[in-house]
């Protein structure tokens, strides 16, 4: 009997030990997930692009309706939310496709990991600033929207994802109830026509040239278009040298391990590139609203215009071709700032399973002479003209749209002037304004909590024994 009791005690102790370990694992996971959000909102900038000399809102277009914050991701919930589902997708690697490449619909429980706030079948709305933001000041209360109905609304969530890398951070994404799926000409259409940055407890700030810091309060942006009239477009373009290292890439530990990272020009092309022509977009640029843009798709979507050696315009529309322009020659290498380079597991090929970061920056990598680079004039998106493809906001139609779902319109033809930033790179750096508490502090607090709980348990057990003894 004594032996059996001893075994029972060991079983109880084992169960308690496993319970403590399980609790520790859960709390550790929560700590690490919170660490990502703290990294997104720590205010750090490293080689972050600014696009104009003055702080302005470059765009704030309603992007897509109802697809953010569903309870789970499967074909049925995606259909019910009005998304698109790529059911027949197969990966050349032989691996099963993740839901991240089958649809642009997002789960509700993922939102707090990257945003301040929540989402419940919400709409998406990216806001592009000419200067990067002080991310520690970003929250939904900064952004006041006026709808075409005259109603004013605020978002439910705001954050830097997917524009979280330290050299980005000029685009804030909002989730909320902003509109419906009707064209602006429809009397029943609902969509935002004005954004105003308003003052809250932590007023939004922007960081510009020479680390100049200004309040964004009072900035406005207006439109008369819905995403169901036309899709996303370019809002800025800037040409820099490719350095010896990709400054400011990544910067948040767990996010750096995403399937799309690293995706900079050096990771993809090594020392082949001389210049980085970065474009800023008004929304997520997808070939169809679901699949990712790939590094080998320059000729499908873009053209680069440069001043010709004898006048006129030279249009660079292919990769790997030397174009003679004023000041020398230029060659398009490919696209970067999307996802990783193709691996051996993929057979060195890109397919529809390619995972890209879906942010608002795309880099066109060029090689050639500095004199020629100074004569780059514009980036063009022909859209559906001349056999080219259009860009779409995330959501759809995708390769396999649902017949009964209305999707956003394709993006329009666009010609964006290029700012030559070879002498002044137009970048800004800033130290983190908040710090992530070291993990060892979490461990210490956890152990103290366990110790206190165990102490309370021992005291309670002793007190119960004393009460029972007294009752006898």
Neighbours of 362 (CB within 10 A): 26
Q: What is the mean pLDDT of residues 306-316?
A: 95
Neighbours of 258 (CB within 10 A): 18
Contacts 24+ apart (CB under 8 A), 90-94: 90/353, 91/346, 91/351, 91/353, 92/346, 92/347, 92/349, 92/351, 92/353, 93/343, 93/345, 93/346, 93/347, 93/353
Confidence grade of residue 202 (pLDDT, cut at 50, 70, 90): very high
**Three-class SS state of 360:** coil
**Pairwise CA distance, residues 232 & 285, whole Å:** 7
List of residues 6+ apart from 335 with CB closer than 8 A: 293, 294, 295, 296, 297, 298, 302, 362, 363, 364, 365
Confidence grade of residue 1 (pLDDT, cut at 50, 70, 90): very low
Q: How far apart are the first and last CA of the chain?
A: 24
pTM: 0.87
Cβ atoms 189, 226 nearer than 8 A: yes
Q: Which residue has the higher pLDDT, 152 or 470?
A: 152
Per-residue pLDDT for 440 more than 80? no
pLDDT digits (tens, 9 = 90+) for 205-259: 999 999 999 999 999 999 999 999 999 999 999 999 999 999 999 999 888 989 9
Neighbours of 196 (CB within 10 A): 18
pLDDT digits (tens, 9 = 90+) for 64-123: 999 999 999 999 999 999 999 999 999 988 899 999 999 999 999 999 999 999 999 999
Instruction: Enumerate the domain spans of the chain.
Output: 2-37+434-471, 41-430
Per-residue pLDDT for 450 more than 90? no
Mean pLDDT of the chain: 90
Residue 8: predicted pLDDT: 59
Residue 27: predicted pLDDT: 55
Per-residue pLDDT for 456 more than 50? yes
List of residues 6+ apart from 292 with CB closer than 8 A: 101, 286, 338, 339, 352, 354, 355, 356, 358
**Pairwise CA distance, residues 377 & 25, whole Å:** 54
pLDDT digits (tens, 9 = 90+) for 251-286: 998 889 899 999 999 999 999 999 999 999 998 899
Express as a percent the part of the chain with pLDDT over 90.
Answer: 79
Cβ atoms 249, 256 nearer than 8 A: no
Residue 451: predicted pLDDT: 66
Per-residue pLDDT for 340 more than 90? yes
**Pairwise CA distance, residues 307 & 331, whole Å:** 14
Q: Which of 177-181, 272-276, 374-378, 452-456 has the lowest mean pLDDT?
A: 452-456
Residue 434: predicted pLDDT: 86
**Pairwise CA distance, residues 323 & 330, whole Å:** 5
**Pairwise CA distance, residues 124 & 158, whole Å:** 10
**How many alpha carbons lie under 13 Å from residue 264 in its C-beta half-sphere?**
21
Q: What is the mean pLDDT of residues 2-12?
A: 57
Residue 6: predicted pLDDT: 62
Residue 7: predicted pLDDT: 61
Residue 449: predicted pLDDT: 61
């Amino acid at each position: 009997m004594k032996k059996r009791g001893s075994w029972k005690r060991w079983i109880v102790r084992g169960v308690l030990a496993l319970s403590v370990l399980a609790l520790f694992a859960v709390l550790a996971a929560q700590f690490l997930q919170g660490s990502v959000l703290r990294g997104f909102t720590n205010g750090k900038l490293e080689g972050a692009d600014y696009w104009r000399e003055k702080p302005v809102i470059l765009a704030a277009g309603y992007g897509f309706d109802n697809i953010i914050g569903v309870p789970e991701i499967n074909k049925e919930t995606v259909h019910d939310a009005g998304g698109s589902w790529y059911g027949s997708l197969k990966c050349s690697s032989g691996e099963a496709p993740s839901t991240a490449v089958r649809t642009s619909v997002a789960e509700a429980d993922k939102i707090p990991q990257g945003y301040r706030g929540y989402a419940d079948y919400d709409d998406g709305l990216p806001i592009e600033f000419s200067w990067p933001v002080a991310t520690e000041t970003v929250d939904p209360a900064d952004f006041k929207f006026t709808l075409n109905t005259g109603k004013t609304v605020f978002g439910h969530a705001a954050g830097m994802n997917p524009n979280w890398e330290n050299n980005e951070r000029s685009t804030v994404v909002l989730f909320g109830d902003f509109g419906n799926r009707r064209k602006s000409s429809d009397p029943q259409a609902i969509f935002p026509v004005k954004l105003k940055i308003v003052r809250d407890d932590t007023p939004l700030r922007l960081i510009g040239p020479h680390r100049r810091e200004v309040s964004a309060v009072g900035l406005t942006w207006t439109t008369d278009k819905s995403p169901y009239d036309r899709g996303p477009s370019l809002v800025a373009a800037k040409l820099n040298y490719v350095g010896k290292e990709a400054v400011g890439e990544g910067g948040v530990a767990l996010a750096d391990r995403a399937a799309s990272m690293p995706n900079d020009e050096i990771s993809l092309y090594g020392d082949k590139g001389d210049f980085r022509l970065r474009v800023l977009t008004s929304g997520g640029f997808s070939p169809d609203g679901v699949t990712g843009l790939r590094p080998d798709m320059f000729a499908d979507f873009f053209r680069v215009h440069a001043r010709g050696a004898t006048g006129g315009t030279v249009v660079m529309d292919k990769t790997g071709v030397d174009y003679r322009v004023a000041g020398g020659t230029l060659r398009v290498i490919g696209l970067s700032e999307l996802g990783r380079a193709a691996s051996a597991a993929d057979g060195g090929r890109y397919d529809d399973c390619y995972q890209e970061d879906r942010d608002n920056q795309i880099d066109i990598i060029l090689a050639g002479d500095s004199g020629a680079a100074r004569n780059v004039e514009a980036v063009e998106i022909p859209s559906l003209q001349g056999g080219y493809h259009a860009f779409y906001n995330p959501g759809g139609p995708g390769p396999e749209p649902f017949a009964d779902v209305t999707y956003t319109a394709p993006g329009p033809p666009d010609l964006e002037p290029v700012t030559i930033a070879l002498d002044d790179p137009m970048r800004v750096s800033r130290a983190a304004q908040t710090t992530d508490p070291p993990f060892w502090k979490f461990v210490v607090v956890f152990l103290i909590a366990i110790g206190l709980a165990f102490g309370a348990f021992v005291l309670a057990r002793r007190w119960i024994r004393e009460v029972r003894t007294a009752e006898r």
